[in-house]
Amino acid sequence: MIKFIIPIKPTAQMRTAVGAIKLGNGKVRGNAHKKKEQVSNEETIKAFLAQHKPERQINCAVMLGVKVFLQVQKTAPDWFNGSTKEFHAAALKHIVRPITKPDADNFLKQIQDCITQMEIWRDDSLVVGYLSGTGKYYTDGTPRWEIEIQELSPDSYCIPGTKAKASRKKSAGAPGQGALLC
């Protein structure tokens, strides 16, 4: 299991910027690129991820936990039936959680892409589910990411086509049960 905190304001995956470039011959070519702010956000996250990179790249199914802590709002939202003071108390106890944009899945995509780019795991397709508690929360302290990566049965589960450790044996059990071993 890998568990760490990235003590920066969480940012969500942004949409790709799309435009057109007029070529010298008069033709127009489409162009898609990441916005500068997106690239900057990714570089900051990857600098923190580098400090937690495991010795070996993860190459098995994982469960991912991502808690995004955002600064609590200064005033209670319209939907909250209570005072600002009551809202802040409920927010800090995680009774109420952020329902504002960006969406939780955009935060997840941002961190998964950065983990893939840092080669902590082979690909974000290895994420088969999310740990309980994954989501957006309020804080009155430092906005941050809390990340947890749990490998699923790393001693008996691996990706077909990769070399298994010599100590791995075929799964003993009923046919069709257990993981496909390398």
Tell me which residues of the chain have a pLDDT lower than 50: 164, 166-182
- CA 174 to each of CA 74, 75, 155, 181: distance values in angstroms, whole numbers, following the listed order: 58, 58, 19, 15
The pLDDT of residue 22 is 77
In 3D space, the residue among 179, 81, 60, 169 whose CA is nearest the CA of residue 125 turns out to be 60
The pLDDT of residue 160 is 59
Distance CA(129)–CA(171), nearest Å, equals 23
Asked whether 90 and 99 are in contact (CB, 8 A), the reply is: no
The pLDDT of residue 56 is 92
Which DSSP category does 125 fall into? G
Domain positions in the chain: 2-13+35-151
Distance CA(111)–CA(6), nearest Å, equals 10
Which of 3.30.565.10, 3.30.1330.70, 3.30.70.890, 3.40.50.2300 would CATH assign to domain 2-13+35-151? 3.30.1330.70
The pLDDT of residue 112 is 96
The pLDDT of residue 40 is 82
Question: Beta-carbon neighbour count of residue 130 at 10 Å?
Answer: 14
Using the structure block, give the residue that is written with the tokens 């997840």: 108
What's the pTM value of the predicted model, to 2 decimals?
A: 0.75
